[in-house]
Structure 1
Amino acid sequence: MTTYTFRKAKIEDKETIWKIIRQAILRRKADGSDQWQDGYPNEQSIENDIANHAGFVLTKSETVIGYCAAIENFEPAYDTIIGKWLTDSDFVVIHRIAIDENFLGQGLSKVIIEHVENYAKEQNIFSVKVDTNFDNHAMMKIFDRMGYQYCGEVYLRGNARRAYEKVLQ
């Protein structure tokens, strides 16, 4: 069984992370999606994640193969959901999940989400909130399979997004 490590990103990881994010931006475009086609995320997003201790990498044998931001209790767009969150307590929000194109199809987005759930529990936080574009069917399937519940719509950068929450045990 392959062992992956999930750790906070370091500034030295930035170039590799940005390469992985750029690959994901191109994949979304090739899929005909508008998601990530507006100049976001960008290198500054990654630098901010790292500076704020919110950037995380998934590694295999020390090689960075995946990335996400896991942010505690902060996503202003989530304050005005059209719908209703399951909880009003502390939460971790996951943004910018991306997998290196050489490692696609191995269920690694799910691995990252599981690691974020464990990280949340280590912080005594029992809610994870996420959102995705209406046309990101692969991510919606992952959320459904992992027990995330659709809660409504939120707006990020002027675009409606599907919002999900999972209450952790």
Structure 2
Amino acid sequence: MSKFYTEITPELQTFIENQKIFFVATAAHEGRINLSPKGLDTFRIINKNTIAWLNLTGSGNETAAHLLKNNRMTIMFCAFEGKPLILRLYGHAKIYHERDAPFKKHITRFDKIAGTRQIIEMQIESLQTSCGYAVPFMNFKEERLQLNKWAEKQGEERIKKYQQDKNTKSIDGFETGLLN
């Protein structure tokens, strides 16, 4: 049922591009494991072994804190419509901020979204598909735009202040690198 790959095939790329949600998992060597759902148009395939995703301002910044301590990351996609499939991307990631040259290179790949906080680039070491037979069918209705509207209403200065107040440490007290 499951199959491993060493790179994103054209079929897997099509599958990824058709998904409306993905899940990101990270963990430091100690503390909590983080698993976050991500949506909107924030995921890009750079090449067969590299992806980037746009990380938006939110209530926490666990992924950034974990990547500074342990750069392993897993991304999972699962089909809620059509043919059943689960796809996991395994690799190592780096987090880039506005001040970093790779951020400037990658940001052009995305539409401008208020509240953009970081870009995460992942080097994929392996991919695994599995059946997804037990994943329920769910119909996509529409994107939730509350985060976008909130960030637009805040404006850049208030977003920066929010990030300083809420996004510089993880829930386990780890630095996120946001202020460096």
Query: What is the TM-score normalised by the length of structure 2?
Result: 0.30
Q: Larger radius of gyration, structure 1 or 2?
A: 2
Higher RCO, Cα 8 Å, sep 6+: 2
Higher helix share: 1
TM (norm. structure 1) is 0.32
